[in-house]
Amino acid sequence: MSNAPLMPKATAVWLVENTSLTFEQIANFCKLHPLEVKGIADGEVAAGIKGHDPITSGQLTREEIAAAEKTPSRQLQLAVSKVHLPEPSRKRGARYTPLSRRQDRPNAILWLVRNHPELKDAQIMRLAGTTKTTLQAIRNRTHWNSAALTPADPVTLGLCSQMDLDFEVNRAAKDRPPVEENQGQTLVSAEVTTRARADEPRTEAEVFGSASAPAEDHESDIDLDSVFSKLKDLQIKE
């Protein structure tokens, strides 16, 4: 239970009007400033506020008030509640969707199906707050209003928060196997194209070198005397 009573100003009004407690005692119990309690007693603060009886609401006992009235230095203590409420369950249930936004669910489901195909059906159902039947109808285009559906972000529609959407997307990305990137057709390097294959036969020129001799070898094989003798024969005939 909180250290402050319910409706502290209304409780202070009732204590000022019905008890002889000091301003400091009332201020400490109601978590107010003593000058504020003095203003309540003078009618300058909390005008028109109806006093709230802390005894009826089980926040104080008559014995506690009487003991504090006898001893001005004593501080009022909140009464311990005899009713033990169970702790709220931390398990998240189905998200409540207002009636005004339920008609936007199909649009949100269509947006999730198109923009995040990696999400599983259970994840989409959690984000949009829908059923598997509706999801399958929209996915298979058998929904009664498929022709009029327009994709809409569920965060913008208020069906889920951006944190919930990012969490489900990241979770689906972790479970999805890595996809190899398609780099398309690329040119093969010159080293690959010029490299001889092991299974192709090679010619003698490739094994032993080119059959043609260097230019200087041709010059060394020419007989200069025969060339000049032919020239002399041509001049004599002319």
* Neighbouring residues of 202: CB distance < 8 A, sequence distance ≥ 6: 196
User: Among 130, 150, 175, where does a domain finish?
Assistant: 175
Question: Which domain does 130 fall in, by range?
Answer: 99-175
Can you tell me which residue has the tokens 């909390």? 46
Residue 62 has pLDDT above 80, yes or no: yes
Count of domains for the chain = 2
Can you tell me which residue has the tokens 């504090």? 68
Per residue in 31-55, pLDDT tens? 899 999 999 888 888 777 888 999 8
- Please check whether residue 45 is in contact with residue 39, taking contact to mean a CB–CB distance below 8 angstroms: yes
171 found inside a domain: yes
Could you tell me which of 20, 56, 64 has the C-alpha nearest to residue 41?
20
The HSE-up count of residue 129 (CA atoms within 13 Å, CB side) is: 21
152 found inside a domain: yes
79 found inside a domain: no
Same domain, 49 and 107: no
199 found inside a domain: no
154 found inside a domain: yes
pLDDT of residue 130: 87
Q: What is the pTM of this model?
A: 0.39
Same domain, 61 and 14: yes
pLDDT of residue 49: 85
229 found inside a domain: no
User: Among 49, 70, 91, where does a domain finish?
Assistant: 70
Same domain, 48 and 106: no
